[in-house]
């Protein structure tokens, strides 16, 4: 899962009260969508229009979920998975393009990001029941069907084929960011002046607060989620954070994150949280997980090579590592 500081939420609530600098107001709503917490904030001329805007964003997110959900048996994604090892499945251009982009991210991250990770056998348990690590042979078997290079795409016929029975794709590490982007695009097209869509930490913004100030995002302190390391103003940008501060296990004195490397089957170590900044929430979502898996050195090297993308890493010693373009205040 992805998390942003709860302090951000309190800022949104404060904005909902009267503003004297503008006739506009801020309307805010918290919902459960795609199985997780969504917070949608819009700048609107009045409360009624604000809630209409939010309802339109919700409808768009629900539309996306019906396409990419692997739990919905009628979704295109579920149909692809059911036909693994059987036949190619014709899909909508929207899903085909999302899969293409996902594979490109897999390529630039050397497989640290992989939508075929849904094929894994879940032998690691993060509910406190594990007392020792699984055997190496069991770990190797658990990832046998993972591999983005196996996914067969036919652009001419718009089909997707998973060649091995038991293969699956899933969009848990990119889907919420994609849905947030699409909802934002819809609201921008309807001339909503500004807002934030926060999909459980995959966050995208446009415009400004009703005061004209920039939206402000706090970087969560993994040792205390109610406090922030620092604050960054963001404009027309997106943010995503991956953290191990809620789901992890400790074995023989070593902490293992719930984030599993799809290439090895082992949980990641060495990082407490990764925050990614980019134009699209979809890219932030995917890269936050990828950098967590790649590690701070390789991860920052990758981010420093991608234009328009920045990262803040809090390592296992709670020290901050930053990409070259990051500057932020350590005070609220």
Which of 99-113, 130-144, 311-325 is most confident?
99-113
Task: Please report whether residue 315 resides in a domain.
Answer: no
For residue range 109-163, list pLDDT tens digits in order: 999 999 999 999 999 998 888 888 899 999 999 999 999 999 999 999 999 999 9
pLDDT at position 20 is 40
Per-residue pLDDT, 3: 44
Section 245-272 average pLDDT: 89
Whole-number pLDDT of residue 225:
67
In whole angstroms, give the CA distance from residue 177 to residue 197.
Answer: 10
Residue 133 located in a structural domain: yes
Q: Please check the confidence at residue 4 and state whether its pLDDT lies above 70.
A: no
* Contacts (Cβ under 8 Å, ≥6 apart) of 319: none
Residue 82: inside a domain, yes or no? yes
CB neighbours of residue 317 within 10 Å: 7
The answer to the question of residue 94 being in a domain is: yes
Beta bridge mates, 233? 216
Among 262, 261, 269, smallest CA distance to 296 is for 269
First to last CA, the chain: 25
Give, as one character, the DSSP assignment of residue 44: E
Residue 330 is predicted with a pLDDT of: 47
CATH number where 91 lies = 1.10.3980.10
| Residue 139: domain span | 76-161
Q: How far apart are CA 69 and CA 268, in angstroms?
A: 26
**What was the pLDDT predicted at 86?**
98
**Within a domain: 118:** yes
Is 15's pLDDT higher than 90? no
Q: For 59, phi and psi rounded to 5 degrees?
A: -60, -40
pLDDT tier at 14 (50, 70, 90 boundaries)? very low
| Helix locations, 69-174, DSSP H | 76-82, 93-108, 136-142
Number of separate domains in the chain: 1
Say what the pLDDT of residue 232 is: 83
- Tell me if 83 is assigned to some domain: yes
Q: Does the structure show a pLDDT above 90 at 267? A: yes
Q: What would the mean pLDDT of 168-174 be, rounded to a whole number?
A: 96
pLDDT at 128: 84
Residue listed under structure tokens 């009267």? 18
Chain segment 48-64, per-residue pLDDT in tens: 999 999 999 999 999 99
Q: Is residue 114 part of a domain?
A: yes
Counting every residue written for the chain, the total comes to 332
Is 104 a member of any domain? yes
Confidence of residue 73 (pLDDT cuts 50, 70, 90): very high
> Facing residues of 220 across strands?
228
């Amino acid at each position: 899962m992805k998390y942003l500081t709860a302090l951000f939420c309190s800022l949104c609530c404060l904005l909902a009260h009267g503003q004297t600098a503008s006739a506009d107001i801020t309307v805010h709503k918290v919902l459960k969508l795609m199985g997780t917490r969504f917070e949608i904030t819009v700048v609107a001329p009045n409360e009624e229009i604000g809630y209409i805007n939010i309802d339109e964003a919700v409808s768009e997110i629900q539309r996306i979920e019906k396409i990419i959900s692997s739990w919905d048996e009628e979704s295109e994604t579920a149909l692809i998975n059911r036909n693994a090892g059987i036949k190619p499945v014709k899909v909508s251009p929207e899903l085909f393009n999302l899969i293409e982009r996902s594979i490109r991210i897999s390529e630039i991250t050397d497989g640290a990001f992989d939508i075929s990770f849904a094929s894994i056998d879940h032998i690691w348990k993060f509910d406190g029941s594990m007392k020792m690590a699984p055997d190496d042979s069991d770990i190797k078997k658990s990832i046998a069907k993972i591999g983005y290079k196996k996914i067969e795409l036919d652009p001419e016929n718009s089909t997707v084929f998973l060649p091995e029975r038991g293969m699956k794709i899933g969009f848990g590490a990119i889907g919420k960011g994609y849905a947030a982007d699409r909802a934002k695009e819809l609201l921008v097209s309807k001339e909503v002046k500004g807002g934030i869509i926060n999909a459980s930490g995959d966050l995208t913004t446009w415009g400004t607060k009703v005061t004209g100030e920039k939206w402000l995002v706090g970087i969560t302190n993994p040792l205390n989620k109610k406090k922030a390391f620092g604050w960054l103003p963001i404009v027309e940008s997106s943010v995503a954070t991956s953290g191990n501060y809620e789901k992890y296990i400790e074995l023989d004195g070593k902490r293992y994150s719930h984030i599993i490397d799809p290439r090895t089957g082992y949980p990641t170590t060495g990082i407490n949280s990764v925050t990614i900044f980019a134009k699209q929430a979809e890219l932030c979502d995917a890269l936050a997980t990828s950098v967590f898996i790649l590690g701070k050195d390789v991860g920052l090297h990758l981010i420093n090579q991608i234009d328009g993308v920045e990262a803040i890493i809090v390592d296992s010693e709670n020290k901050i590592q930053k990409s070259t373009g990051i500057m932020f205040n350590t005070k609220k």
